[in-house]
A and B are shown apart, each in its own frame.
Chain A
Amino acid sequence: GEDVEQSLFLSVREGDSSVINCTYTDSSSTYLYWYKQEPGAGLQLLTYIFSNMDMKQDQRLTVLLNKKDKHLSLRIADTQTGDSAIYFCAEIRDSGYALNFGKGTSLLVTP
């Protein structure tokens, strides 16, 4: 987790957009992922992006990648209370098999 950093907490109001940020250190990262974890559950894959892409959109989710700054963000449009969870950023390197995860951002959506 030390190579992938995320802010620990984010609070938004229902209906607003949420932006969760992530930075990583290894320039050889080839794929970057966003996972969601609800209490007591495993990790649910939300979306992922290849390092040669700048943006990927999937319904309410938009992923932006700034490879120069090694910065990844996840935007959730029209955030709902059901989006409250912990969101993990993860990267995989060209030479590796395993995902390296950040510590997660806890998103709280208030009515």
Chain B
Amino acid sequence: DTGVSQDPRHKITKRGQNVTFRCDPISEHNRLYWYRQTLGQGPEFLTYFQNEAQLEKSRLLSDRFSAERPKGSFSTLEIQRTEQGDSAMYLCASSTRGGGSPLHFGNGTRLTVT
């Protein structure tokens, strides 16, 4: 068990470009979450998967954002036509099934849109 892994750690992109981030959860965890964190704020929920099914999406997740979890293993988060307001830390977390199972977070991908 190597924990939740995210790639890349840092991404700098120009406004208007598309970016894709990857998350590999802890292997036996069937729940996967994406959060966004801006400076001085706590993490904000974006979306949640149980196995391959995307069960919940926050209203923060605009049409430019899409997340997938094919085969219920790793997940990708894509942002199309990036804007400067998308600059943030994108955190992935996973957990096992069951009430109250704590979320285990990766180290995040820091996105800077110039």
Chain A residues proximal to chain B, CB less than 8 Å: 1, 4, 30-31, 33, 35, 40-45, 48, 50, 88, 90, 92, 97-104
Contact = CB atoms under 8 A, between A and B. Distances in A.
Interface of B: 4, 6, 31, 33, 40-45, 48, 55-56, 58, 91, 93, 99-100, 102-108, 110
Contacts, number: 62
Given A30-B99, A31-B99, A98-B48, A42 B42 contact: no
Contacts of A4: 42
Contacts of B103: 33, 45, 99
A33 B105 contact: no
> From DSSP, what is the main secondary structure of chain A's interface residues?
strand
Given A43-B105, A45-B103, A97 B44 contact: no
Nearest to B31: A97
9 contacts: A31-B99, A33-B102, A33-B103, A42-B6, A43-B93, A43-B105, A88-B43, A98-B56, A104-B41
Nearest to B50: A97
Contact of B106 (A42, A48, A97): A42
Contacts of B100: 30-31, 48, 50, 92
